[in-house]
Amino acid sequence: MQRPSILVTGASGALGSLVVRALGDVSARVIPGSRTPDLADGRRIDFDDPASLRVGFAGIDRLLLVLTDELAVPGKRQRQHRAAIDAALGAGIGYLAYTSMPNPTTSPAIFFAEDHVATEQMLAESRIPAGILRNGWYQENLLAYLPHIIADGRWFTAAGAGRIPHVARDDAANAAASLLRTAEPGIFDIAGPHPLTIEEIAAAVEAVLGRALRVIQVDSARLAVELARQGVPAPIIPMVVATEENQHAGRFEIGPETTRKLIGRAPRPLHDFLRNHAEALLARAR
């Protein structure tokens, strides 16, 4: 049986590169795609250039559509995804996997949730067999703001008692690779092993890193002010605030069962992430 050809968009990015690596076996012909491909076997894929999509998707059996990073212009990401799906239809691609988010239709706090809702609807209307990877909040995202919180010693939060199962990006990549191998359609929640409250995450920080954090519940406006005071980069603050609002509403409370099935083992716990990134997490506290 001929090996299927699999193209991964965003292959030079944090998730796409891991998916390419996870697919690095003899079961498929894996083709990295990006706006500026730097690999000999890569293809140029620019969602703003329909010609690049027509050429890049030619001869492809299965496609991973990694959501683009265009957030500054409202509606642009939806237009890019529409162009990609239309090109996939034109190329006769037989299976498409897409990286979405948990509960997009009921998560108004997340300002880009509507992009996922629209893209999932586009895929349903296209009738391309599709696997929707509803990836949770990556553990690695904590590196953008948790070091500032650790250095301050206080964790201001608007999450209340809401829980969030941070997932390792590598586990999300392996889940995507699994779907691309089997071409299984459906919706798949991708989560870490334990949904945790902010208090429980703070306790994990103390247990693993030896740094006590005082958790202080505040509203979203106060949270934004405190994150800025702690030195969190301005572009990160709206993302953190939106995430904690969504967490407060219980929209991130998804289980690990699907992830475990796809990757063939339990997903990596947050304790492992804290231990493996201790130096970066503690850098501002020293």
Spans of all domains in the chain:
5-135, 138-166+193-252+268-286
Comparing 5-135 with 138-166+193-252+268-286, is the CATH topology the same? no
- Whole-angstrom distance, CA of residue 8 vs CA of residue 63: 6
- Whole-angstrom distance, CA of residue 139 vs CA of residue 165: 9
CB atoms within 10 A of CB 138: 20
Domain 5-135 has CATH 3.40.50.720: yes
Give yes or no for residue 39 having a pLDDT over 70: no
Distances (CA, A) of 268 to 198, 274, 276: 18, 11, 11
* Span 138-166+193-252+268-286 CATH architecture: Alpha-Beta Complex (3.90)
Give yes or no for residue 38 having a pLDDT over 90: no
- Which of the 8 DSSP states describes residue 106? G
pLDDT confidence of residue 40: 61
Give yes or no for residue 126 having a pLDDT over 90: yes
pLDDT confidence of residue 1: 56
Quick one: tokens of 53? 């999509």
Q: What three-state secondary structure class fits 188?
A: strand
- Whole-angstrom distance, CA of residue 20 vs CA of residue 41: 12
Start-to-end CA distance of the chain, whole Å, equals 57
Give yes or no for residue 176 having a pLDDT over 60: yes
- Mean pLDDT for 99-127 is 95
